[in-house]
Amino acid sequence: MRNKKREAVIDWRDIDTVLLDMDGTLLDKHFDDYFWEQYVPEVYASQNNISIFTAEEELLAKYKEQEGGLAWTDLDFWSEQLDLDIERLKKEVDHLIAIHPYVLEFLEFCRNHGKRIYLVTNAHPKTLAIKMAKTKLAREFDELICADEIGLAKEEPLFWEKLQGRIAYDKKRTLLADDNERVLASAAAYGIGHLIFVAKSSSRLPTLYSANFPSIIFFKELMEPSHSGAPKKGL
């Protein structure tokens, strides 16, 4: 069943490296959904003197053509395709960028337990810069890595091999958390040992658990004393 939760059971003693997705995992995906599904269609409709309905139809078709590849998140690509300054438009609504609950506590937890922490995102470097400027999260990571720098989207198993050349992680002792099942499946195919699905990517959408991977709603679930290696309450 797609909406039956598989509990995440983590032994932190078996993990050295934590890889974290950004949009939908650390940050509320409401910003991205609103931007691409409402704000861009409104601006596109106005600029092209067409109805919102027509704009939405045209844009949805364009989005689907690029979904799952590097172009999907490439701000320069979409600026050229749509004749819009996508970077500027994102900055106009950056007040909607928000960190998910318990993310800061989880990052502190990982740091206190000696884990290496990397942000690994398909987001374009310009999008990453906008969101890090707004959230101040960059200082929490050992490194920030965009798929654009690797040359492949995270949906490709070869991405994870190339990433190893960048940060030299032991895949069996690595945890990856992501809200995208295709990404988790590609990481599983490569052999990453600990995979977590974030089941509530947007504060405005219902929780939807993965049928294939252990799921969490909030990162506080991975800090519970029931997880081996996690500190006991009161200690």
Region of residue 61 (phi > 0: left; psi between -120 and 50: alpha; otherwise: beta): alpha
The residue behind tokens 């909406």 is 3
CA 5 distance to own-chain centroid: 20
Rounded CA-CA distance 203/201 in Å is 7
Work out the number of other CB atoms within 10 angstroms of the CB of residue 212. Answer: 14
| SS3 state at 166 | helix
Query: What does R_g of the chain's alpha carbons equal in angstroms?
Result: 18
C-alpha span between 227 and 193 (Å, rounded) = 16
Whether 14 sits among the annotated catalytic residues: the reply is yes
Q: Which two tokens stand for residue 36?
A: 């691409």
DSSP state of 97: -
Give the distance from CA 115 to its chain's centroid: 19
**Which residue among the candidates 14, 16, 33, 142 is catalytic per the annotation?**
14
User: What are the residues whose beta carbons fall under 8 Å from the beta carbon of 153, sequence distance 6 or more?
Assistant: 68, 69, 70, 72, 122, 147, 159
Q: Which letter does DSSP use for residue 12 in this model?
A: G
Catalytic residue numbers, as ranges: 14
